Structure 1
Amino acid sequence: MAIIHKATLSPSKLELIADYLPKQPWFIQDGSPELIGAYRFDDPAGEVGLETHVVTAGERVYQVPLSYRGYELAGAEEWLLGTMDHSVLGKRWVYDACADPIYVKALATAILTGQQEAEQFVDGEPEPRPSTVTVKGSGKLDGGFPTLSASAPVSGSGVTIIDAGELRLKVARVVDVAADASANSAAAPELHSELTLNGTWAGLENPVELAAVIRN
């Protein structure tokens, strides 16, 4: 469960993303980024906000996972988008979440166990707020979760790879909206060995692959 505060942010999340994207090897400058939607994972400790934004720029769709912290993440300066003033929580350090171990564990858990995005509750309101992007993992693990360790992510053409101990994660940065992830997940096991996180949003005909666990 994610608690959303009624707050003003300076700079805004989209402003931070717009400044960060042109610096990434997987981004092709083609117009200003516009937000399609977002989904959240839950930090069980309740300290780190985990929100993944899906944005469009030109004809491409990008995925930008962010983590929001009330303190600096040691060794992650390269992945810092910047800081923002949150009118309720105060100063927040905003990181590319692929470098944040809390996000890595949350992503792996969702993929391996078949979880969906976290329910979002606006502070003071009894009913959850619908997520603008819905996701679900394809795994069915109910025990024996692998040991994870922190590792610097490596970004290439359209993807970021995270070596996390016993697992390797692949996060799509450029989202292939033409591919039907539901068709892949229905394929024979010998043809489709990856476990995936698939997502959808308004206007998208079929779910798309957003992340995967791949073999080391």
Structure 2
Amino acid sequence: MAEIHHTTLKPTKLELLTDWLPGRPWYRGGPEGPRLSKAGGFRLDDPEGGVGIEFMVVSDAGASYDGAESSYLVPMTYRGAPLQGADEALIGTTEHGVLGKRWVYDGCHDPVLVGELAALIDGRAKAQAQSVSDQEDRDIRVAYEGAPLGAAGIEAVTDTESGTGIRLTSGTTLRLVRALAPGGGGHVTGVWQRADASQVRAPFVIVHPGA
């Protein structure tokens, strides 16, 4: 299990995302930019122990959707060195109080995150608590009965206004819902907390089998 270090990050994750989010096609905010707060999420473990994997939910007080603040699902990976060929996926760099310089990536482009997400969907991995070491996150629910995804390689990643599609080398596509909305129908669902402290469940990931 990955050890979670409770230490400083300079700049913080929210500061990095404040600069990065407005350039995404699924961003719902205006030109004034986001006002972000952490609203939920979970982690996955890298079996090799070298890459941090986090699915963070952030809420934006500067934008609204259906009468509530907009909330986004942002998968991120944290690496001790640059990921080759992934310059366009770099969210930014930060200085970790224990681990030193970390390269922070949009995890949809990181093969380690995609592989572990496939393992979660297949039932070969467990979602971990976002801020507590060695604790399963039971708020994350997986409901998938299709063919196993197996060792998932990335063929293409496409961002649209409706989310991010990760096409695997098998032909299957994992669609990540980026701008979250309450509802059902996801193969991976999770919860986040709204400004009024109420918890909301929504689809995070939907699997579209290949032809």
Same fold (TM over 0.5): yes
The residue number in structure 2 matching 1:188 is none
The verdict on how the C-alpha distance between 1:87 and 1:107 changes in structure 2, with shifts beyond 3 A counting, is: same
Q: What CA distance in whole angstroms lies between the structure 2 residues aligned with 1:112 and 1:19? A: 34
- What is the correspondence of 1:67-216 to structure 2 with a 5 Å cutoff? 67-113=77-123, 116-119=126-129, 134-139=139-144, 145-166=149-170, 167-177=172-182, 179=183, 181=184, 184=185, 196-202=187-193, 203-205=198-200, 207-216=201-210
User: Tell me, what secondary structure is at the counterpart of 2:38?
Assistant: strand
User: Tell me, what secondary structure is at the counterpart of 1:106?
Assistant: helix
Q: What CA distance in whole angstroms lies between the structure 2 residues aligned with 1:153 and 1:16? A: 21
Q: What CA distance in whole angstroms lies between the structure 1 residues aligned with 2:28 and 2:131? A: 35
Which TM-score applies when normalising by structure 2?
A: 0.82
User: Tell me, what secondary structure is at the counterpart of 1:103?
Assistant: helix
Deviation, structure 1 residue 32: 1.2
How big is each residue's C-alpha offset from its partner over 1:55-110, in whole Å with a ceiling of 9 and x where there is no partner? Answer: 11122111111000001111110010111111111110000000000111111111
User: Tell me, what secondary structure is at the counterpart of 1:85?
Assistant: strand
Deviation, structure 1 residue 151: 2.8
The verdict on how the C-alpha distance between 1:115 and 1:47 changes in structure 2, with shifts beyond 3 A counting, is: closer
Deviation, structure 1 residue 46: 0.6
Deviation, structure 1 residue 120: 6.0
The residue number in structure 1 matching 2:6 is 6
Q: What CA distance in whole angstroms lies between the structure 1 residues aligned with 2:96 and 2:11? A: 9
The verdict on how the C-alpha distance between 1:176 and 1:80 changes in structure 2, with shifts beyond 3 A counting, is: same
The verdict on how the C-alpha distance between 1:140 and 1:43 changes in structure 2, with shifts beyond 3 A counting, is: farther
Q: What CA distance in whole angstroms lies between the structure 2 residues aligned with 1:80 and 1:104? A: 16
Q: What CA distance in whole angstroms lies between the structure 1 residues aligned with 2:180 and 2:131? A: 27
Q: What CA distance in whole angstroms lies between the structure 2 residues aligned with 1:129 and 1:118? A: 6
Deviation, structure 1 residue 116: 4.0
Which TM-score applies when normalising by structure 1?
A: 0.81
Deviation, structure 1 residue 37: 1.7
The verdict on how the C-alpha distance between 1:121 and 1:54 changes in structure 2, with shifts beyond 3 A counting, is: closer
The residue number in structure 1 matching 2:67 is none
Deviation, structure 1 residue 113: 1.8
User: Tell me, what secondary structure is at the counterpart of 1:153?
Assistant: strand
Identity of aligned residues (%): 34
How big is each residue's C-alpha offset from its partner over 1:154-206, in whole Å with a ceiling of 9 and x where there is no partner? Answer: 100121001111121111111112x1x2xx4xxxxxxxxxx71111234225x
**Structure 1 portions without partners, runs of 5+:** 185-194
RMSD (Å), alpha carbons: 2.4
The answer to whether structure 1 residue 54 and structure 2 residue 57 are counterparts is yes
**Structure 2 portions without partners, runs of 5+:** 65-69
Q: What CA distance in whole angstroms lies between the structure 1 residues aligned with 2:55 and 2:126? A: 13
The residue number in structure 2 matching 1:189 is none
